[in-house]
Amino acid sequence: MKKQQKTKRPPGVCIPWQEKLKELPKISGDKELVQKVWQNIDALGYMYIWQCLLSF
Amino acid sequence: MAKDMEQLYQQRLKRYVAAMRNEKSDMIPIRPFVAEFTAKYAGYTCQEVTHDYEKAFAAARKCAADFDWDAVVSNMVYVWTGLTEAIGLKYYGVPGISIPPTTGFQYIEPPEEKAFMKPDEYDQLIEDPTGFLYNVWLPRVSADVSAMGQPTSFRNNLSFLKGGMAMLTYFNAFGKQNELLRTESGTVSAIAGILKAPFDIIADKLRGYLGLVTDVLERPDKVLAACEALMPHLTHVALSGADPDKNVPIGYWMHRGCVPFFSMEHFKRFYWPTFKPIVEEIWAHGHQVLFYAEGNWDAHLDSFAELPDQSIVYHVDHGDIFKVHKVLGEKFCISGGIPNWLLATGTPADVRDYCKKVIDGVAGNGGYIMDASAIVQNDAKVENIKAMTEFTRDYGVY
């Protein structure tokens, strides 16, 4: 899509993983698991506000 | 699941999808977008189906079971006001609270000076649409959410908790509803996902119609940049809710971006260049878009004809369905065109005559879906909806 803007907060994201990662201590376990769960739940926050705008 | 009910479902799905691909099947599919009509038919008030989605679901299923329809929207009374009240949204007229229980829910647009987004806030929206919605817009549209920098409150915290949990509960309930439609009556869920145009949503929920009218004249570059900033988000939301099987289309609700609400110049400068790429992107993912052309969009048919073959289904409200068929019929499926006023005030004979006129004019080569012009509310007569259904079944066989 040529016209789209490059935003700091891309579609589907409220708090980017890289931003959250800086707040965490060094992850000793499965980093990908932590990232995946963070992003999946963060996407619900995104859905909430955009559904408020578009559907409700 | 009874085997014959599943067979009926598959037959209807095939018929519905074939028409949407602008092809001819065994007969014309019927897919009425029935909203508050379902309440009237099932014996509920508007308040009951708007405030208790289980009743809305039950009413939709009762209509699907009693009428020979191929597809319905799982709940066309889509706005569950239990949810909107939990969030504290101010812009609804809620049946049984602020409007009579027998009236369908209403959107209430604030006066221009109280628009939910101020004219000097475009840069904030453009820079970070999601942040703007949470930090600026939501506190203004919710009676409970505190503005940034203001003290938080019990009601603020509860708005997010209850709103989030209620929204997820509601969305998850659609899975069961769609399954029940399939197993109880063999009915297809007609659409999946939601899309609105950037320009429309700025008028609907941000600047208001009058605010946007001013903005296209006084700050046109900001309006265009805001539309462009919204594009990737609206595309993402649409694709997130789309049918994974790619059978049914994403619903696109068209509001006030057309002539005469705006000029053709404004449509071509703001609306179309920031919406057409969204449809093309969605089509590239294999999903159709249902253009629910509320009002009259006939002035823009040549623009819509630029879209790839089969990429959309075009629903006709006040437009001239015969003109639409002439301009778009070679490329796209058409639906609707039976006037709501006729369903409310006419006789069954009037309805049959009108259905015949539409079928004769646009359905000869397939690619037509029978439906009312606009969402059917509780003013439609039951006998007229029956006449539309039964006539189409009798006369609409290929």
Share of chain B above pLDDT 90, in %: 99
| Inter-residue contact B59 to B42 (CB < 8 Å) | yes
pLDDT value of residue B240: 97
CATH of the domain at B70: 3.20.20.210
What's the pLDDT tens digit per position in B225-247? 999 999 999 999 999 999 999 99
Q: Residue B298: which domain range?
A: 3-395
Give the C-alpha separation, B51 to B105, whole Å: 10
CB contact under 8 A, A8 and B205: no
What's the pLDDT tens digit per position in B53-80? 999 999 999 999 999 999 999 999 999 9
What's the pLDDT tens digit per position in B311-347? 999 999 999 999 999 999 999 999 999 999 999 999 9
Q: How far is B251 from chain A (nearest CA, A)?
A: 11
CB contact under 8 A, B231 and A4: yes
If one counts the domains in chain B, the total is 1
Q: CB distance from A41 to chain B under 8 Å?
A: no
Q: Please report, for chain A, the start and end positions of each structural domain, with discontinuous segments joined by +.
A: 28-56
- ipTM score of the complex? 0.96
Cis previous bond, B260, omega within 30? yes
Q: What is the DSSP string of B146-209?
A: PPTTS---HHHHHHHHHHHHHHHHHHHHHHHHHHHHHHHH-PEE---SEE--HHHHIIIIISHH
Q: How far is A28 from chain B (nearest CA, A)?
A: 31
Measured from the Cβ of residue B267, the count of other Cβ atoms closer than 10 Å reads: 21
Residue of B nearest to A13 (CA): B130
Q: CB distance from A2 to chain B under 8 Å?
A: yes
pLDDT value of residue A4: 45
Residues of chain B in contact with residue A14, where contact means CB-CB under 8 angstroms, are 130, 134
Residue stretches of chain B with pLDDT short of 50: none
Residues of chain A in contact with residue B273, where contact means CB-CB under 8 angstroms, are 3
Q: CB distance from A49 to chain B under 8 Å?
A: yes
What's the pLDDT tens digit per position in B245-269? 999 999 999 999 999 999 999 999 9
Strand boundaries in A1-56, DSSP class E? none
> Which of B236, B255, B279 is most worth mutating to test chain A (most A CB atoms within 10 A of its CB)?
B236
pLDDT value of residue A8: 75
pLDDT value of residue B3: 64
